[in-house]
Amino acid sequence: MEIYLHHYLIVAAALFVCGLCTILVKRNAIGILLGVELILNAANVNLVAFNHFSHGGTLAAPRLDGQIFALFVIVLAAAEAAVALAIFLNFYNNFSTIDVERANNLKG
Amino acid sequence: MNFLALTTSTADWSAAAGVTLFYLFAALSVVSALSVAVSKNIVRAAVGLLMSLLGVAGLYFLLHAEFLAAVQLVVYAGGTLILIVFGIMLTSKSPFSHYEPKTREVVIAIGVGMVLLAAIVGAILSGPFAVVGVETEGYPITQLGQALLGDYLVPFELASVLLLAVMIGAAYLAKSRRRES
């Protein structure tokens, strides 16, 4: 019994679907942010798994492009969470709630 | 190498341990992700996300991405999640504020999720992904550093500029409304 690449891909698919369901179900804006983080993690697992199972380069010096992509994804996720939380705080100060159903001022 | 005969039994043992650890971390991350999706309380959902991030960090360890696992623990579990918990504390009037979804939305979400999961898993199982990992000799941290300051120098520097812009922008966004009122 051994762990193949598709084991990791299936775990990442499950994480992705959980994140998507979180985004669809939650009405709390921060809940939606949690779903986005889950989806980014699923993408990261895919990147690192593909890098481990089929990297170019030699055994002593493998290429690590997938890991570097994952590092950038982590940096961008942190930045995105900071900006999104600032927007949510602003929204909360205006409407006293972060229910996304209430954010319909621009609705036609 | 007379080493080789000695190390095969320990290699068998470590392979079994690797399989067990994989299933442990995979179950931890997927079950916690499910709890994020189903839990009504947003604080519980945040704790579920923390557990899921820990499981994913364990998967990174198993994939020989030790530096990435450390970054995941420090930046994600230690930084981003604390930020989110602060956001929850600042935006909930009571700690038990519920935002109940409509039943129709839940049904649609479960339907979409099931169909998508079946499609992705079917595509993965029919694809050429049943390959065994390549064991590298030691951890190539020097490769990571050289790639980051070589091939990926421009994105690396752009990320620092982006972080500065995010810091200024988030401070401005969070502050401007309070000054007005």
Residue B98's beta-bridge partner residues? Answer: none
B144·A67 Cβ contact <8 A: yes
Predicted TM-score of the model (pTM): 0.88
Residue A5 has its nearest CB partner, among B26, B100, B131, at: B131
Residue B108's beta-bridge partner residues? Answer: none
How big is the A-B interface in CB pairs under 8 Å?
248
A89 has a chain B CB within 8 A of its CB: yes
Task: Please give the torsion angle defined by the CA atoms of residues A79, A80, A86 and A90, in that order, rounded to the nearest 10 degrees.
Answer: 160
A5·B130 Cβ contact <8 A: yes
**Residue B41: its pLDDT value, please?**
87
Q: What is the pLDDT of residues B59-114, one digit of tens each?
A: 999 988 889 999 999 999 889 999 999 999 888 775 455 677 788 888 999 999 99
Q: What is the pLDDT of residues B160-180, one digit of tens each?
A: 999 999 999 988 887 755 555
Cα–Cα distance between A20 and A15 in angstroms, integer? 9
ipTM for the predicted complex: 0.90
A33·B29 Cβ contact <8 A: no
B140·A61 Cβ contact <8 A: yes
Chain A from 26 to 55: CB within 8 A of any B CB: 26-31, 33-35, 37-38, 41, 44-45, 48-49, 51-55
Closest CA to B141 of B69, B79, B49: B69
